[in-house]
Structure 1
Amino acid sequence: MEGMISFGNKRSYEEFRKQIPTQVLPLFDSIREFCFGLGENVVEDVRMHRVVFCKSMTFRWFTDIEPQKEGVIIKIQKNRKEPVGIIQINKDQQISEFGDLIKEAYEQIH
């Protein structure tokens, strides 16, 4: 699968999906698809409680998404000199409401 890199015994996204609350899953999946759609150099790093999206193998992360009971917490990093932005998204919101912030972070991270 494109964008997947394995470092040893890392969890797959399919394994991670099992811990996401059912009502939040459509939002989480749409954020994931949006991130992959930003470019061919997007790398997904599935961690214990969240999924981090990086730009290429330099692992400059631009988006960190963590499922919650009623939504998703998104951390956005545009560069290492600015503080990380944190957005709490409700399960009923759409990617179109915050996609520009993720895209801008992807374009600006080095």
Structure 2
Amino acid sequence: MDGLFLGPKRSYEDFKKQIPVSIFPVFDSIRQYCMSLGNNAVEDVRAHRIVFGKSLSFRWFADLEPGNDSIIVKVQRDRKEPFQTITVTSETKMDELKGMILDAYNTIH
């Protein structure tokens, strides 16, 4: 049944072809960080972005969308709180962003 209506699920290998070379290292670094947070961290590769959540409930904690020279990162701690949007470039220091992502990941139950 896979792919009957929506087509086959996209892989990161396919998705990364659309990420501009200038921001690919930063994008890939954030992706690897999200996946390293725990065994239950999962990624959902969509048409124009990648969403990270926890497996069973797939409550998302990070959403990465590459642009021409930046990445729009949305971080959500709780459904009742609005998500935070951060524009990341190759010049952005990652410590604060990683802290926000870790906090959101740990908040989801």
Please give the TM-score of this superposition, normalised by the length of structure 2. Answer: 0.90
Post-superposition Cα deviations, 1:34-53, rounded to whole Å, max 9, x if no partner, equal: 00111110010000000000
Task: Return 5+ residue gaps in structure 2 as ranges.
Answer: none
Shift of 1:70: 1.0
**Matching residue of 1:52:** 51
Q: What letter is aligned with 1:89?
A: V
Q: Does 1:99 align with 2:108?
A: no
**The structure with more radius of gyration:** 2
Shift of 1:72: 0.6
**Matching residue of 1:77:** 76
**Matching residue of 1:28:** 27
1:4-23 matched pairs, under 5 angstroms:
8=3, 9-23=8-22
Q: Aligned residue pairs: how many?
A: 104
With CA pairs under 8 Å and 6+ residues apart, which has the higher RCO, 1 or 2? Answer: 1
Give distance in 2, aligned partners of 1:69 and 1:94.
19
Give distance in 1, aligned partners of 2:93 and 2:18.
21
Moved over 4 A (4+): none
Q: What letter is aligned with 1:30?
A: S
Post-superposition Cα deviations, 1:48-98, rounded to whole Å, max 9, x if no partner, equal: 000000011211000000001111100011010001111111122243241
Please give the TM-score of this superposition, normalised by the length of structure 1. Answer: 0.89
- Percent of paired sites with the same residue: 51
Give distance in 1, aligned partners of 2:18 and 2:60.
23
Task: Return 5+ residue gaps in structure 1 as ranges.
Answer: 1-6
Give distance in 2, aligned partners of 1:25 and 1:73.
13
SS at structure 2 position matched to 1:58: coil
